[in-house]
Amino acid sequence: MILDIIISGLINGSVYALLAIGFSLIYGAARIVNLAHTAFYMVASYCIYFATHKMGVHPVLAMLAAIILVTLIGLVCYRLFIDPIREHEAAVLIATIAVAMAMQEIMLIIFTGDYLSVPSLVKGYLGIIGVKIAYQQLLTFGVALLILAGVWTLLKKTRVGLAIRATAQDREVANLMGMNESRVAMITMGISVGLAAFAGAVVVPLTVVNPHMWMHPLIFMLAIVVLGGLGSLKGSFAGAYILGFAESLVVFLLPMGAFLKGSVALSIMILVLLIRPEGLFGVAFEEER
Amino acid sequence: MKIPKFVLSILLVACLVMAISLPAYAAKVIKIGVIGPMKFVQGKGHWNGATMAAEEINAKGGIWVGKKKMKIELIKLDSNEFLSMTDATNAMELAITRHKVDFLVGGFRTEAVLAMQDIAMDYKKIFIGCGAAHPELCIRVAKDYKRYKYFFRGTPFNSRYLVKTCFIHMATVGGIMKKMLGIPKVKVAIVAEKAMWVDPMVAAAKGFIPKMGMEVAGIWRPSAVATDVTAELSAIQRSGAHMIFTTFSSSVGITFARQAGELKIPAVQVGINVEAQKDGFWEATQEMGNYVMTMNTYARGVEANELTPRFVNTYIKKFGETPTYTADTYTQIIYNLAPVIEEAGTLDADKIVAIMENREYATPGGKIKYMKDAQGRHLHDLTWGPGYLTSLGVQWQDGKLVGVWPNHWKPAKGVPEITYKGIVPYKIAPWIIKEYKK
């Protein structure tokens, strides 16, 4: 059973990490709380469904096209709905949730509420000491780790990453040092939405595509970033795995209450906040900034 | 002769009233509100069934109400009940107060239908539920007949009978497993989504499975919209279950079937999986839903009686898919409301209720008779059993949803076996045979 919990927790945690790090990135760099983040993940899933089922495109090509398209949609949304009101955090919150709802309704009109799916890239499963893991899950896990490593390299080893980190530390000083803070915010938004789209791409063969699929991950993602410390990438990473394992523990230890896994995750978040209001990596986050 | 001013004014007012009301009276139609989650497959079923019924009736000129024939006008009401209970109650209010509907059919989620039922009863509107299964909806009728007598269950039969039918399916499949695979005692995992309609079924299953000579391996309650159940599936496999008793009405039915098929979990799935009742299930599970068995109302090529093929074939021709049980709005309008209105000769709800609750009538799904409780009080609930509604057991077999039950079903000693026309034998998945056949 321990092995089941470890494997299940690792896979869940990786997907959550992909979503949470994108969300954390844009908050850290531009102070934008983008509640439409998981809606982009939903749109990416629909794009892949449409490309594979209606246009007959190969799933891998469909995924790449979806990531590019959704990133572009994200940038357009940023320019139209977020950038003009960026300085007003409450307005950004409302605007982004409105964008998410609008995307949900658009998908509902186009695709109706029918539950759809996309084929797995790799069929079959691997048995490890009696635990069955679908190859698609392993692939998702591996790709998620690769992307996370890619984001880390981008932030630590490139000039763009340096600019993002500098802006995250102090926007005014970064501006004074000649960095175009607005452009950095836009690039970060692009990377953030791209990560959401990537999460959609790697998860879509494992899940059921429907217009409301963004809601549950949004709650989880918020729990993760608050748990890890808002804006801290390290914290989001740790928070994602903590909640991923919490989910698995609930299912295995409390089968009758498997539906409570979301509530348990949120309870952990509240508990951490009560003990440590700044989140697990709040201090580290301050240092990073 | 001089007409007094008073009489003249009364005559004028009377003429005015007649002038206004006569055209409306002459043109009056019977308004039926079709309420359901219209952006979802369940609501589409409600609407499609009702549309088919209205078209058939209107093509014949309408329904006789006393001495005049009235056509049917359908009002589409999106309850959005999967997401918002408030939307559901608002839709019901809208139907009655703005659209002035005469009758209502539809509803799906018990939680929403209970709330909608109260609104319909406030206005004394006949509301035929076509989706929710919780017994409470009809217990209310018996407990407070004066208030709730306007509610009738149209489909499905209540969850007590749903679970009873599931037990029969489980016993049938369990028997096949014992015979084919030599399993002495079948272990059953109960997997039920977290929803109100499922709660009495879980309790019943927990108590009754041991009485059937089987063993409960565990109970799992995932969320109705869970997108990953691999953890549950691992735990089920660890429990050594040979059979999974499923009760799903939402998207988790697809997730569960797909992941169980992908991981080749060595346990047959029997029970209720509403998503598996739909033609789109095969594609939605990426063909991983093979061998999933579920209770259903209709299947291509299966005939419960002589009325079934006409309804099923016309529906398929018109909408390109097999009707699901929410499409029984058709049945309720064609075989229930229409003849009762003609018999009553009025749209008066009280007179219609009095006729409706005492009728027995054949429908494409079987014969309908409304039950009474142990104290003889009207329940307006559907009678289950041989000769009445029994539903079907259907199984996905290589891309086709085929009927597998009732197949030589013997409901009681001395009663003849029942096999519906078009039924084929149940199949066990090859990986399960491989796992257990030594």
pLDDT in single tens digits along all 289 residues of chain A:
788 788 888 888 888 888 898 898 898 888 889 999 999 999 999 999 999 999 999 999 999 999 999 999 999 999 999 999 988 988 999 999 999 999 999 999 999 888 999 988 888 898 887 788 889 888 888 988 898 899 889 988 999 999 988 888 888 888 888 888 888 999 999 999 999 999 889 888 888 999 999 988 898 888 898 888 877 888 888 999 998 888 888 888 887 877 887 788 788 888 888 888 888 876 544 444 4
The residue of A49, A104, A117 whose CB has the most chain B CBs within 10 angstroms, and thus the best one to mutate to test that interface, is: A117
**What per-residue confidence (pLDDT) applies to A282?**
65
B residues 263..292 contacting A (CB < 8 A): 263-265, 275, 280, 283-286
Residues of A in contact with B290 (CB under 8 A): none
Nearest to B183 by CA among B213, B204, B163: B213
Instruction: Please identify among residues 37-76 of chain B the ones whose CB lies closer than 8 Å to any CB of chain A.
Output: 37, 39-41, 44
Q: What backbone phi and psi angles, to 5 degrees, belong to A122? A: -130, 125
The pLDDT > 90 percentage for chain B reads: 81
The predicted-structure confidence for A53-94, as pLDDT tens digits, reads as follows 999 999 999 999 999 999 999 999 999 999 999 889 889 999
For an interface test with A, give the residue of B191, B220, B225, B234 to mutate (most A CBs within 10 A).
B234
Number of separate domains in chain A:
1
Looking at per-residue confidence, does A220 or B22 come out higher?
A220
Contact list, B224 vs chain A (CB under 8 Å): 259
| Calpha distance B34→B103 (Å, rounded) | 9
Distance to chain B for A208, nearest Cα, Å: 6
Alpha-carbon distance B299 to nearest alpha carbon in chain A (angstroms): 20
Chain A residue at shortest CA distance from B80: A113
**Residue contact A113–B40, C-beta within 8 A:** yes
A238 to A91, A145, A261: CA distances (angstroms): 29, 13, 18
The shortest C-alpha distance from A235 to chain B (Å) reads 24
Query: Any residues with CB less than 8 A from the CB of A107 and at least 6 apart, and which?
Result: A42, A43, A46, A211
Provide the 10 A C-beta neighbour count for residue A115.
25
Length of chain B: 438
CB of B319 closer than 8 Å to CB of B48: yes
Question: Cα distance from A1 to chain B (closest Cα, Å)?
Answer: 8
Indicate the helix (H) or strand (E) that contains B128: strand B126-130
The distance of B124 to chain A (nearest Cα, Å) reads: 32
Residue B71, helix vs strand vs coil? coil
CATH of B11-19+21-156+306-382 given 3.30.70.1140, 1.25.40.80, 2.130.10.10, 3.40.50.2300: 3.40.50.2300
Q: Each residue of B294-347: pLDDT tens digit?
A: 999 999 999 999 999 999 999 999 999 999 999 999 999 999 999 999 999 999
Residue B203, chain A, CB below 8 Å: the answer is no
Q: With an 8 Å Cβ cutoff, are A136 and B225 in contact? A: no
What's residue B359's pLDDT? 95
Side-chain-facing half-sphere of B144: CA atoms under 13 Å: 9
Q: A207 and B255: CB-CB below 8 Å? A: yes
Q: Which residues of A touch B84 (CB under 8 A)?
A: none
- Flag whether pLDDT at B24 surpasses 50: no
CA distance B220 to chain A (A): 5
Q: What was the pLDDT predicted at B438? A: 64
Considering only CB atoms, A251 lies closest to which of B40, B83, B231, namely B231
pLDDT of residue B10 exceeding 70? no
In whole numbers, what is the pLDDT of chain B averaged over residues?
A: 92
- Which residues in chain A touch residue B233, judged by CB atoms under 8 angstroms apart? 132
- Residue B82 contacts A where some CB pair is shorter than 8 Å: yes
| pLDDT surpasses 50 at B23 | no
Residues B187-216, mean pLDDT to the nearest whole number: 91
> Which residues on A lie below 8 Å from B222 (Cβ)?
251, 258-259
| Chain B CA closest to residue A133 | B263
pLDDT at A276: 86
Size of interface A-B (CB pairs under 8 A): 112
Does the pLDDT value for residue B20 go beyond 60?
A: no
Q: What is the pTM of this model?
A: 0.83
Rounded mean pLDDT of B91-105? 97
The ipTM of this complex is 0.82
Residue length, chain A?
289
Helix (H) or strand (E) holding B192, with range, is strand B187-192
Mean pLDDT of B199-220: 92
From chain B, the residues in CB contact with A255 under 8 A are 218-221, 232, 235
pLDDT at residue A190 in the model: 95
Residues B378-390 have pLDDT tens digits of 999 999 998 899 9
Q: Could you tell me the pLDDT band of residue B205, with boundaries at 50, 70 and 90?
A: very high
Instruction: Annotate chain A with DSSP letters as a single string.
Output: -HHHHHHHHHHHHHHHHHHHHHHHHHHHHH----TTHHHHHHHHHHHHHIIIIIS---HHHHHHHHHHHHHHHHHHHIIIIIGGGTT-HHHHHHHHHHHHHHHHHHHHHHHTT--B----SS-SEEEETTEEEEHHHHHHHHHHHHHHHHHHHHHHHSHHHHHHHHHHH-HHHHHHTT--HHHHHHHHHHHHHHHHHHHHHHHGGGS-B-TTTTHHHHHHHHHHHHHH-TT-HHHHHHHHHHHHHHHHHHHHH-GGGGGGHHHHHHHHHHHHHHH-TT-TTHHHHHHH-
Q: Residues of B with CB below 8 A from A42's CB?
A: none
Looking at residue A231, its pLDDT comes to: 76
The conformational region for residue A224 under phi > 0 = left, psi -120 to 50 = alpha, else beta, is: alpha
Tell me the pLDDT band of B112, cut-offs 50, 70 and 90.
Answer: very high
Nearest CB partner across the interface for A208, out of B41, B237, B251: B251
Amino acid at A256: M
Residue B184, pLDDT above cutoff 70: yes
User: Residues B373-419: pLDDT tens digits?
Assistant: 999 999 999 999 988 999 999 999 999 999 999 999 998 888 889 99
Q: Is B15 left (phi over 0), alpha (psi -120 to 50) or beta?
A: alpha
Q: Which parts of B101-181 fold into alpha helices (H)?
A: 110-122, 136-143, 145-148, 159-181
Contacts of A131 in chain B (CB under 8 A): 234
List the single residue in A113, A117, A124 with the smallest CB-CB distance to B258.
A117
Q: Which residues on A lie below 8 Å from B234 (Cβ)? A: 4, 8, 131-132, 252
Domain span at residue A158 reads 2-288
Distance from CA of B221 to the nearest CA of A (A): 5
Judged by CB atoms closer than 8 Å, whether chains meet at B237 and A256 is answered as: no
Closest CB to B231: pick one of A114, A252, A259.
A252
User: What is the model's pLDDT at position B197?
Assistant: 78
Q: Which of A194, A175, A198, A269 is nearest to A230 (CA)?
A: A269
CATH of the domain at A33: 1.10.3470
CATH number of B160-296+406-436: 3.40.50.2300
Res B53: pLDDT? 98
**Nearest CB to B221; choose among A11, A125, A257:** A257
Q: Which of A210, A259, A260, A266 to mutate to test the interface with B (most CBs of B within 10 A)?
A: A259
